[in-house]
Amino acid sequence: MLVKRKGITISRQIMDDQMLHPGATGELTGLLNDLVVAGKIISAEVNMAGLADILGQSGRTNIQGENVQKLDVFANQTIKRRMEQCGHVCVMTSEEDDDIIPVLDGYEGNYTIAFDPLDGSTNIDVNVSVGTIFSIHRRLGGTGQGSAADLLQRGSKQVAAGYIIYGSSTVMVYTTGHGVYGFTLDPSVGEFFLSHPNITIPEHSLYYSVNEAYANHWFDSTRRYVDFLKQADGGKGPYSLRYIGSLVSDFHRNLIKGGIFIYPETDSAPKGKLRLLYECNPIALLAEQAGGKATNGKTRILDIKPTSLHQRTPFYVGSKNMVAKAEAFLKICNT
């Protein structure tokens, strides 16, 4: 395996990844490089948000009298445009679109992409970090336009997944199944450079992330686990709560520092809130590749067979020991 040094460019890394797969055609490399371009475009727009008065509803005009879009609409269009003509994708699904999204005729490729163009977007106008999340599968077979079936594959079949977080700096974190790497965008030259080689998530930590406002609506098992986190836990605890309300930000922090992120089922939302295809699957693959764990409480996230594009699932992800402990609580309380 090639030793990665801080400072290599993301395109170099993507090409190195390709070399790990003898016989690779370069299609995935091309797709990822186009995603990088989309990330740079969205990053520039997010950074200009306050200045350009782009916040607010679609259809508003900015101070130059131009029609402006909400950033999530902008991000969605940017990714769709890059992907529909990159020549490597056969079908897409996005958090912003009800149905599958075709690619341009003549540009069909061998991969599918599911994405959340700007997750956490309700936080944009208060300068909270938001992110683009993506999940890539190889199509089931055939040629031409892909179908929903190509998208409804298990997370364990992902060939690449990651996110781009637009925060104090823009960082792209991704995996192609050979570890997790983070690249920070240097806006002065418009290039992502390796800043976080071979990320591993600490096996244990003292952070947990959950929206406790819903505690009265959780199942007993979840409530007991979170209560446990507030106790001493043999001298390890009490744990500290860190919740931003933007999955990419919460997960990114836990990936680097360790911790567990929980979005559980509630009595009114028995499947939770987060979406399997373009939120939980890609984050779960990153977590596992970094040595962590991801479950819905009963089943490994990556083993769930999706049945619909926008299906939701309860989500417990992060440091291996903490997720295992949560699972143990859920099993005991549910029996």
Spatial distance between the Cα atoms of 148 and 156, rounded to a whole number of angstroms: 17
- The least CB distance from residue 229 to ligand AFP, in Å, is 17
C-beta of 152 vs 274, nearer to ligand AFP: 274
Which one of 273, 291, 310, 333 is in contact with ligand AFP (CB under 6 A)?
A: 273
- The least CB distance from residue 211 to ligand AFP, in Å, is 3
Paired strand residues for 165? 131, 171
Residue 75 to residues 86, 107, 194, 249, 252, Cα–Cα distance (Å): 17, 21, 24, 17, 20
Structure tokens of 290?
Answer: 């970094």
Q: Give the rounded distance of the alpha carbon of 49 from its chain centre.
A: 22
Applying the rule CB under 6 A, the residues between 211 and 270 that interact with ligand AFP are 211, 245-247
**Number of chain residues interacting with ligand AFP (CB under 6 A):** 11
Can you list the alpha helix ranges (DSSP code H) found in 100-177? Answer: 148-151
Which one of 43, 121, 158, 221 is in contact with ligand AFP (CB under 6 A)?
A: 121
Residue 225 DSSP symbol: H
Contact 207, 257 (CB under 8 A): yes
| Range in contact with ligand AFP (rule: CB under 6 A) among 79-87, 120-128, 147-155, 299-307 | 120-128
C-beta of 247 vs 284, nearer to ligand AFP: 247
Contact between 120 and ligand AFP per CB under 6 A: yes
Q: Is the peptide bond before 238 cis (omega within 30 degrees of 0)?
A: yes
Taking the CA atoms of residue 137, residue 138, residue 144 and residue 146 in that order, the dihedral angle to the nearest 10 degrees is -30
C-beta of 10 vs 280, nearer to ligand AFP: 280
- The least CB distance from residue 39 to ligand AFP, in Å, is 17
b/e code 110-136 from CB counts within 10 Å (16+ = b): bbbbbbbbbbbbeebeeebbbbbbbbb
C-beta of 153 vs 266, nearer to ligand AFP: 266
| Range in contact with ligand AFP (rule: CB under 6 A) among 121-129, 143-151, 233-241, 280-288 | 121-129
- The least CB distance from residue 335 to ligand AFP, in Å, is 28
| Range in contact with ligand AFP (rule: CB under 6 A) among 119-127, 148-156, 164-172, 300-308 | 119-127
Residues that bind ligand AFP (CB under 6 A): 119-123, 211, 245-247, 273-274
